[in-house]
């Protein structure tokens, strides 16, 4: 009933679309929410412009996070050091960081890393596809596991895979069926966890059909690690992400602290997820509240504690390491470290893993992003990229109300992953274009088109999925 009311309140276009798909309450709610969002945007456009310069003051309160000054640290470290009050801070040498440029490079690197892994392989993604390239990846895992058992000195190699339950269960052949052979053959070495959102439960879970149930909530961590090497990406484990779907990929080599953190994080989310069994059934970890059959509040509290315990313990470890690095006698230049062999060079690159799990009341990414946008004043340049332009209202107000320069890279309709899809999904690119035009209309009405620039990514035969933010400040050089 609520879904039908939401749909009825939408524009005529949505009502016509819904008329073509009766009995789809989840879709009705989704389109209704999008319709309401567009309507609210039109209303705001008429009345909010005089207030935009006050946006940083009127935006949702951002907790003040400050660190005591550390006079012994290099000055360049201080700009973002407040973030270490929220998440662990990892200092690495830039020579250990490699940015990949193509899906093929990403795919080949993953296969190569799996083949040489000795201790652990941890993979977190929305889903694993079902095509020949995905099977090739599974075959690499199987071969490496087999070698670990046949070696003269068998290794304790463990494989942990975290996927989303609804996306990973879609269709007869799906992520689960792709991984069952590994579970059946190596039950002591392989773990497959399927995260199920606590918001999809009861009558809602029974009524919303497959695929549309994914709009309620998903597991969206994308991290792939092999022993002490880590790939941070937005790419899923699917053929298009290995061939012609552009994403971002950062390869961190020999970074044990970062690898340990992400292993613990995936383990924590895995513990509050459903465990895939060799017969394709799922079970809850012993002692854990069921995500959709148990009490929702109790489940979310338990999940919050499990994840936050990982964050807090990693923060404590990194604070000790920070003190040893900058306040002890172990700091070496790269040249001296190379000569010493067993001591690490001074870090010149800082990594802060931001976590966002709103059902569990973990909103660290939101806090940090709003803080960065709020503090971006004249002289700063902010680069945003997204495959789906749908900024929250708070972010939109901050972009329009601050004085920093913004360069925003979007997917053109033709490289949107839904372009050419059948049914209502095929209208999604046009919906994003509509939101983009509304936003740019506000930019122009405020005369800010020189400060806020939008560009669209287009490449024949490709799609675009990259997301990210970079903030830089340029100060005038002293004469």
User: What amino acid positions are annotated as catalytic residues?
Assistant: 220, 222, 227
Is residue 242 within 8 Å of residue 103, measured between CB atoms? yes
**CA–CA–CA angle 359, 362, 366 (5° rounding):** 105
Is residue 43 within 8 Å of residue 35, measured between CB atoms? no
Q: Which two tokens stand for residue 198?
A: 């606590």
Residues ≥6 apart with Cβ < 8 Å to 180: 276, 278, 280
Determine the Cα–Cα distance for residues 125 and 102; give it in Å rounded to an integer: 18
SS3 content of the chain, % helix, strand, coil (to 5): 50, 20, 35
Order of strands across the sheet with 97-100? 97-100, 249-252, 229-233, 223-226, 120-124, 158-164, 190-195, 274-276, 282-284
Is residue 330 within 8 Å of residue 324, measured between CB atoms? yes
**CA–CA–CA angle 373, 412, 387 (5° rounding):** 45
Neighbour-count burial of 58, counting CB atoms closer than 10 A to its CB (0-12 exposed, 13-18 middle, 19+ buried): middle
Is residue 420 within 8 Å of residue 461, measured between CB atoms? no
Is residue 161 within 8 Å of residue 266, measured between CB atoms? no
Buried b (16+ CB within 10 A) or exposed e, 118-132: eebbbbbbbbbbbee
> How distant is the alpha carbon of residue 298 from its chain centre?
25
Report residue 263: phi and psi, to 5°: -60, -45
Could you count the other beta carbons within 10 Å of the beta carbon of residue 342?
Answer: 5
Is residue 344 within 8 Å of residue 228, measured between CB atoms? no
| Crossing angle of helices 175-185 and 132-150, rounded to 10° | 10
**CA–CA–CA angle 122, 128, 130 (5° rounding):** 140
């Amino acid at each position: 009933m609520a879904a039908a009311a939401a749909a009825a309140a939408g524009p005529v276009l949505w009502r016509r679309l819904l008329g073509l798909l009766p009995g789809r309450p989840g879709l009705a709610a989704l389109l209704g929410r999008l319709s309401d969002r567009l309507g609210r945007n039109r209303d705001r456009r008429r009345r909010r412009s005089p207030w935009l310069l006050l946006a940083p003051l009127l935006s949702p309160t951002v907790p003040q996070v400050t660190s005591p000054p550390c006079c012994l640290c290099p000055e360049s470290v201080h700009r973002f050091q407040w973030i270490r009050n929220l998440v662990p801070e990892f200092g690495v040498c830039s020579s250990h960081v490699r940015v990949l440029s193509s899906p093929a490079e990403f795919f080949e690197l993953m296969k190569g890393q799996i083949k040489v892994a000795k201790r652990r392989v941890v993979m977190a993604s929305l889903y694993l596809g079902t095509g020949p390239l995905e099977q090739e990846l599974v075959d690499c895992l199987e071969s490496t596991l087999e070698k670990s058992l046949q070696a003269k000195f068998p290794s304790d190699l463990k494989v942990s895979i975290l996927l989303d339950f609804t996306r990973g269960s879609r269709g007869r052949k799906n992520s689960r069926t792709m991984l069952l052979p590994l579970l059946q053959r190596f039950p002591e070495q392989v773990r497959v966890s399927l995260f199920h959102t606590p918001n999809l439960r009861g009558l809602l879970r029974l009524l919303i059909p497959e695929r549309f149930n994914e709009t309620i909530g998903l597991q969206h961590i994308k991290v792939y690690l092999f022993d002490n090497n880590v790939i941070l990406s937005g790419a899923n484990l699917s053929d298009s992400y290995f061939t012609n779907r552009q994403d971002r990929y950062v390869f961190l080599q020999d970074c044990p602290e970062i690898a340990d953190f992400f292993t613990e994080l995936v383990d924590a989310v895995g513990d509050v997820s459903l465990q895939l069994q060799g017969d394709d059934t799922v079970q809850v970890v012993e002692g854990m509240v069921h995500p959709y059959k148990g009490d929702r509040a109790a489940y979310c509290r338990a999940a919050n504690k499990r994840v936050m315990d990982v964050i807090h313990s990693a923060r404590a470890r990194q604070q000790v390491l920070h003190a040893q690095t900058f306040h002890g006698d172990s700091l070496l230049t790269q040249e001296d470290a190379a000569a010493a062999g067993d001591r690490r060079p001074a870090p010149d690159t800082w990594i802060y893993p931001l976590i966002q799990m709103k059902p569990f009341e973990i909103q660290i990414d939101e806090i940090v992003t709003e803080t960065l946008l709020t503090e971006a004043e004249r002289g700063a340049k902010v680069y945003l990229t997204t495959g789906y332009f749908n900024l929250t209202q708070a972010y939109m107000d901050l972009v329009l109300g601050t004085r920093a320069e913004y360069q925003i890279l979007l997917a053109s309709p033709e490289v949107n992953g839904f372009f050419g899809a059948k049914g209502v999904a095929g209208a999604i690119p046009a919906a994003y274009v509509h939101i983009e035009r509304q936003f740019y209309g506000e930019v122009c009405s405020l005369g800010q088109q020189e400060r806020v620039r939008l560009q669209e990514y287009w490449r024949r035969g490709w799609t675009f999925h990259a997301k990210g933010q970079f903030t830089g400040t340029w100060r005038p050089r002293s004469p």
